[in-house]
A = this chain, B = another copy of it.
Amino acid sequence: LHKVTINVVARHAGVSKKTVSRVLNNESNVTESTRRKVQAAIDELGYVPSVQARALARNQSFLIGLIYDNPNASYVADIQKGALKVCRQRGYHLVIHPTDHESSTLLEELEELLSTSRLDGLILTPPFSDRRDILQLLQQRHLPFARVAPTQTASGSVDVISDDFDAAKKMTEYLISLGHQRIGFIKGHPDHPVSEQRLAGYRAALQAADIEFKADYVRQGYFNFRSGEEAARKLLSLTPLPTAIFASNDFMAAGVLKVASQKGLSVPHELSVAGFDDSPISRHIWPSITTVKQPVEAMAEQATDMLLAVIGRTGDAAPITHFVDSLVIRNSTAPAKA
């Protein structure tokens, strides 16, 4: 079995290789009859163009990078899935790049990734979406990029965002509607800008309901289980006790559940608990956790789509797409006792 190249196809179809190339790239100036003839040859021979050769000739790599640092494996999996879906359709490969956002050599590491891989574009996820130093690096290299869930605008970027402020506000309003007045809050990691937005949503809901904001009821967390546990210990030693705790993600909410259980506080009867992210754990724990669901996969898909549009100078899609979060009510929340 001989290797099928563009030359073989050209000969088979009785045209020049350039014409085959035109058909491959869907260029406009080809007669319909020629196109069909070429297509027939392609199908018949089972020809698949070599990405490698294409990459060299066009000085592209057909590689898209995905940068993340997220302990939430299912979030990462969703992001990957969304990005992959689009990449596959369009003949790109996804280069995943898990990395440590606190690393002091992050920028150098990124520069190396860019120069060795020659990526055609990059997808940034939190907390990288808002890292000025990274954005600057990409801009001066003229490397197209898309950002998932940034909080600040940046020139020349395409973004997908969801309204975490609004989601946190809605969740807090929901708790208030259940009769809760003393609602504890566990903040997210300070390096993640969404943390502030979620807190702001919480505060806005309190204010709208004329409930006094008390700093005691807010503790710093770091998006992991242990920090949720520690924050919960503090919150659950307050007097009067909060009747509800809203954690900025599900891992921390799981930590609250543990502490409540150890203290003999029954959830949701004596304490309501809410989380954020709709991670698998929110379903796999008992009581299951009321939380906020983001359309993460769809967001990644859209981000990738917009990025490829920029790379291919295709349609000029709107530079920002909005997605909406939704509340998922489960078993960890109930009306406050009278």
Contact = CB atoms under 8 A, between A and B. Distances in A.
A319 interface: no
Total copies of this chain within the assembly: 2
A336 interface: no
A48 B77 CA distance: 31
A165 B81 CA distance: 33
Contacts of A91: 116
B281 A281 contact: yes
A225 interface: yes
A96 B116 contact: no
Interface in A197-218: none
A63 to B, nearest CB: 7
Give the secondary structure class of A's interface.
helix
Interface residues of A, number: 41
Given A76-B77, A254-B285, 15 more contacts: A48-B115, A51-B116, A51-B117, A52-B52, A52-B59, A73-B74, A73-B76, A73-B280, A77-B98, A84-B96, A93-B117, A94-B95, A225-B280, A261-B286, A262-B286
Interface string A25-68: 00000000000000000000000101111011001010100000
Interface string A265-288: 000000000000000110111100
A26 to B, nearest CB: 17
Interface string A68-82: 000001101100110
A222 interface: no
A52 B120 CA distance: 12
A229 to B, nearest CB: 9
Contact of A96 (B48, B80, B281): B80
* Residue of A50, A73, A95 with most chain B CB atoms under a 10 A cut-off: A73
